[in-house]
Structure 1
Amino acid sequence: MPDLFYTAAYIRLSREDGDREESDSVANQKKLLTGFIEKKEELLLYNMYIDDGYSGVTFQRPAFRRMLADIENKKITCVIVKDLSRFGRDYIESGRYLERYFPEKGIRFISVSDHIDSLRQPYDMLLPIKNIFNEQYARDISGKVHSALQTKRQCGEFIGAFASYGYRKSPTDKNKLIIDEYAASVVRRIFSLYLQGFGKQQIARLLNSEGVLCPSAYKRASGLRYANPGAGCGSLWSYSTINHILHKEIYVGNMVQGTREQKLRGRQQMLGRERWIVVKGTHEAIIDEETWRRTQKLLKSNVRSPAGAYVPARHLFAGLLFCGGCGRPMVKTIWRHADGSPEYSFTCGTCKRHGRHFCTPHTIPARALEQAVLNDLNLLLSRCEKLSGLVWQQAEQFFDQPGIESELQLMENERKAARDIFLTSYEDYKSGLLSREEFLVCREKYRRKEQFCRSKQEELTNRRADFWKKVRQSPLLNEKPAARPVSYLDRALLSALIAKITVYENRRIHICYNFPGGASFFPGQYFVKRTDDIHILSKSSELQ
C-alpha cells in the first residue's frame, strides 16, 4: 500500500474576484475535491479549509492561516485545490508558497483542473505564467467592481456591510436604510444631551452607567457578525464614539460614502472631504436639520484654537507610559493646591474615562516619576563600561537571527529565478507554447519583479547599515562611564532609550529599556518602588 498523504482540501470563493460561476461555488468545489480524493487511495482527507468571501489577492485569510498552522504542526502532508485561482490571485505570493514553502515543508500540491501534481511531475514552468494571468484577472475584476460600486454610491444606494448605528438594512432592499427605533432613540438622546451642555465624556459615562450597549456590542447582540479590532474596552461607550456620532451627517437623511480608498493589496486611507460622495434625502432622518445645525455650530465652537485658549502639550512620557492593571495608556491629569499652584500626575486612562469599576487609578505624581526614571537612567549610564559589552553582544545575537541577511538572500534567489523564468518564457514563445501577447505580458511582469528585488536588496542593505549606525551612536555604548550624570529628561532622550514604562499599584513601576534598531534589551531588570518615598531597586545581576 502506498504512503498515505494527510490532505487539506482548500476552498475559496469571492464575489469581488468575480467568482460568480456555479462551478466555482463552495458546494461544487467540495464535490470535486472529495471525489478526486476518493479516487486516490493514497490520499486521506484531514480537513476542509473554506474561505468564503475572501479575495484571492491577499493571503491573510482565516482558513488559509489555519491550514498553514496545521502544516507547521506536521498534521498535513498534501494540499489540494480545484484550480490555481482558488489558491490565490497574487502571482508573487502564490509563487512563494508553491515554489519554495511547500517543497521546504515536504508538502505535495495538487491543482485538479490544472492537472498539476507536484509528486507526479517536475515543476511546470508555465505555472508562474498562469499565476500572472490570475492576478491580472483579479485586477480587471477589481476595477469593474469599483466602477459598479461607485455608480451605486452616486445614486445614493447604501453599499456598506453594516448600517450605521441607528439604522438597519431594509429586508426587501439591502441598498436602502430604515430606522432601528431603539438605536435611533439613543442617537437622539446623545444629540439632546450634548445640546443641553453635557460633555462627550459625560455622555459616555452616563450611557455606560445605565448599561446601554455601545454600537459594536449592540450589533453583535442583534445577531450581526460584527467585529471592530480598534474597540478598546468591549461594550463601553467612549469619548471617540460619541464624537463620531455627533459628526455623522447620515442622521439627517443624507448618504455619505466613499470616504476611504483601498488599492488592490493596500490598506485603506482616508480621502479629503471634497472627494466624498454625499447624496441628500436618501432615507428617513433621525434628527432634524435644526438640531444638526446647532450641534455642528457647538462642536466647532468647542474646538480650542492654537492662537486662543490653552492647548495642552504632549506630555514627556506620551506613548511610553501604561497601566499595569488594564494595559491601556496612562493620561496626564492636573489638580491645584490651595494657593492655586498646579500639581501634575498620571492616572489610568480606562479608570478616568469609565470609572473605578473597570480599573483602579494607579496614580503616580509626575515629579516623582520623572525623578525615579532620571535616577535609574543615571544608574544605568554609570555602568556603561560593563553595559557596553553586553549590548554589543546582544546586538550581534539579534542581527544573527533570521532577518535581513536571509531576506537579502531570498531577494537574490527570486531575482535569479525571475530571470531564468523570463528566459524560459522566451523559449516557450519561440516554440509556439505562448502567444506574442502572453509573452509580452510575461516579460513586463518579470522585469518588474526583477526591479522590485533589486530595489528591495538596496533597501535591506541600507537598513542593515542604518542598524549598526544607530548601535554605534547609542548613548549606552560609551567606552567609559558618563563624565557627569544626566540632569534632566527630555522627549528625545526618553524615546531613544525607553521602550515602555508600566505603572502598578502603590506607585511601583517597571522600566523596559529600548535597544536602538527596535529590539528591547534587559526587559524587567529595572524597577522603581515606593516605600515611604520613591527610590530605585536595581535587579540586574549582570550589571552588579
Structure 2
Amino acid sequence: MSDKPKINVIKNIRKLHNLYKNIGVYCRVSTNSHKQLHSLTQQISYYVKLFHGHPTYRLYDIYIDIGSGNESSERSQYQRMLNDCRNKKLNTIITKSIRRFGRNTVEVISAVRELRNLGINIIFESENLDTRDSNNEFLISILSGLAEAENESRRLNIIWGLEKQAKNGTSELYRRRCYGYKKDKIGNLTINESEAETVRFIFSSYIAGKSYKQISKELTENGISSPTGKSTWCNKTIENILSNEKYCGEVILFKNISESKLSGFSSDIIKHRNSYHMIESHPEIISKEDFNLVQELKKKRSRKKPKDSSNVI
C-alpha cells in the first residue's frame, strides 16, 4: 500500500433546477480587444460545457453583444433575447453578472420584473442570484446600483485622462491618421502624396464652384478609390474632407462629439467639455487661407439653397 493518499477531484458543477428546459445565455464584452474576446470565448466555452450531457437542460441559444452596456438600443442580441422570451422560447436566462446584463438599475429591475411575469427567471452567476426568489430583487437593485456607480466613476476617470493628455499635447489623438496622411517610423504624420493630390483636387474644385455631387461624380469616373477603398465616392465624404482642419496642419480634439460616441457620459459632462486646438501639428496639405475660404463658401452656399440630400454610395 502506498504511503501517499490517493486524492480524487470532485468537480463543482452547478446543478440547475429540474424544471429548466430552454436555456438562453447572455454574454457581453465592452470592446473587441484581444483580451476581451478571449474572455468572451471562455464564457461561451464554460456554458457549453455546463449543459453538455444534460438532456434535461436544452441550450436554446447564446446571445452575444460586443459594445458598451450604455448603448442599450444598439445591443441587438440583448433585444433578440428579450423578444425570444416574449415569444415563450426560453425558460431561463443565465448571464455572468448583473454588470454585464443591464446598463443601469432601472433597466435591470425592469427586465427582471417583465421576465418574471412571463415565468422566466434570470441567474446571475457571479452574484449567485436567481430571480425565481422574489426576495433577491432588493439585493439585485443594490448590486446593480453599485455597478452603475462604479462604471460612472471609471468613465469619469477615462475622460479626465483623455482631457489631461489633450491639454499637455501628449494625446495620440493628435496624430490619428486620416486620408491624405501616413505615419512615419516614430508615429508622426507625414503627407501621402498620392492621396494628398486628391485632397487638393477636392478643395480646388469646391473653390472653383463645383458641388459635392459634382466632385464625387468626377472622382468616381476617374477611377480614384475613396478613403474606405470603394470605387465610388459619396457626398458626405467630400463634405467631411472639406471640413477637416487637419488638412491645414491643425487638430481640434473633442469637437462635435455626440453623447452616443462618449459611451454613456452624462449630458452635463458633454456640455462642459473643453476642446483642444493644436496649431502646426503636422505638415499641411491645404493652406490655411484656402481652408478658411472653403468654410466661408460652405456657409454662403448653404444659405442660398437647400442642402443637397442626394448621395452617391
TM-score tier, shorter chain, comes to 0.7 to 0.9
* Percent identity between the two aligned chains: 23
In structure 2, distance between residues paired with 1:205 and 1:128: 56
Say whether 1:237 aligns with 2:225: no
The offset of 1:110, in angstroms, is 0.9
Q: Which residue of 2 aligns with 1:133?
A: 146
Computed over aligned residues only, the root mean square deviation of the Cα atoms, in angstroms, reads 4.2
Say whether 1:109 aligns with 2:122: yes
Q: Which residue of 2 aligns with 1:253?
A: 249
Letter of the aligned partner of 2:47 in structure 1? L
Say whether 1:210 aligns with 2:222: yes
Q: Which residue of 2 aligns with 1:494?
A: none
The unaligned stretches of length 5 or more in structure 2 are 1-16
Say whether 1:152 aligns with 2:165: yes
Task: State the structure with more CA Rg.
Answer: 1
Specify which structure has the bigger relative contact order, considering alpha-carbon pairs within 8 angstroms and separated by 6 or more residues. Answer: 2
In structure 1, distance between residues paired with 2:301 and 2:197: 33
In structure 1, distance between residues paired with 2:142 and 2:208: 65
Written as runs of structure 1 = structure 2, the 5 A alignment for 1:434-513 is none
Q: Which residue of 2 aligns with 1:192?
A: 204
Change beyond 3 A, Cα 1:93–1:20: farther
In structure 1, distance between residues paired with 2:43 and 2:220: 47
Letter of the aligned partner of 1:65 in structure 2? Q
The offset of 1:237, in angstroms, is 2.4
Q: Which residue of 1 aligns with 2:13?
A: none
Change beyond 3 A, Cα 1:194–1:6: same
1:141-194 per-position Cα deviation (integer Å, ceiling 9, x unaligned): 11011112223333253449x853334678986xx6565555433212212333
1:305-333 per-position Cα deviation (integer Å, ceiling 9, x unaligned): 99xxxx6588xxxxxxxxxxxxxx9x8xx
In structure 1, distance between residues paired with 2:249 and 2:239: 19
Letter of the aligned partner of 1:71 in structure 2? C
Written as runs of structure 1 = structure 2, the 5 A alignment for 1:311-460 is 312=304, 350=310
Q: What SS does structure 1 have at the residue aligned with 2:72?
A: coil
Change beyond 3 A, Cα 1:51–1:179: farther
The offset of 1:49, in angstroms, is 1.9
Letter of the aligned partner of 2:22 in structure 1? Y
The offset of 1:278, in angstroms, is 1.4
* TM-score using structure 1 length: 0.45
1:225-255 per-position Cα deviation (integer Å, ceiling 9, x unaligned): xxxxxxxxxx5422x5433322311113322
Say whether 1:277 aligns with 2:293: no
Q: What SS does structure 2 have at the residue aligned with 1:106?
A: coil
Residues 104 and 148 in structure 2, CA contact (< 8 A), matched pair in contact too = yes
In structure 1, distance between residues paired with 2:91 and 2:251: 51
Q: Which residue of 2 aligns with 1:84?
A: 98
The offset of 1:91, in angstroms, is 0.7
Q: What SS does structure 2 have at the residue aligned with 1:96?
A: helix
In structure 1, distance between residues paired with 2:280 and 2:87: 56
Q: Which residue of 2 aligns with 1:472?
A: none
The offset of 1:87, in angstroms, is 0.8
Change beyond 3 A, Cα 1:66–1:167: farther
In structure 2, distance between residues paired with 1:213 and 1:28: 40
Q: Which residue of 1 aligns with 2:69?
A: 56
In structure 1, distance between residues paired with 2:84 and 2:193: 46
Q: What SS does structure 2 have at the residue aligned with 1:25?
A: helix
In structure 1, distance between residues paired with 2:239 and 2:95: 47
Equivalenced residues, count = 289
Q: What SS does structure 2 have at the residue aligned with 1:184?
A: helix
Q: What SS does structure 2 have at the residue aligned with 1:130?
A: helix
- Alignment equivalent of 1:95, drawn from 109, 128, 133: 109
Q: Which residue of 2 aligns with 1:370?
A: none
* TM-score using structure 2 length: 0.73
In structure 2, distance between residues paired with 1:269 and 1:204: 37
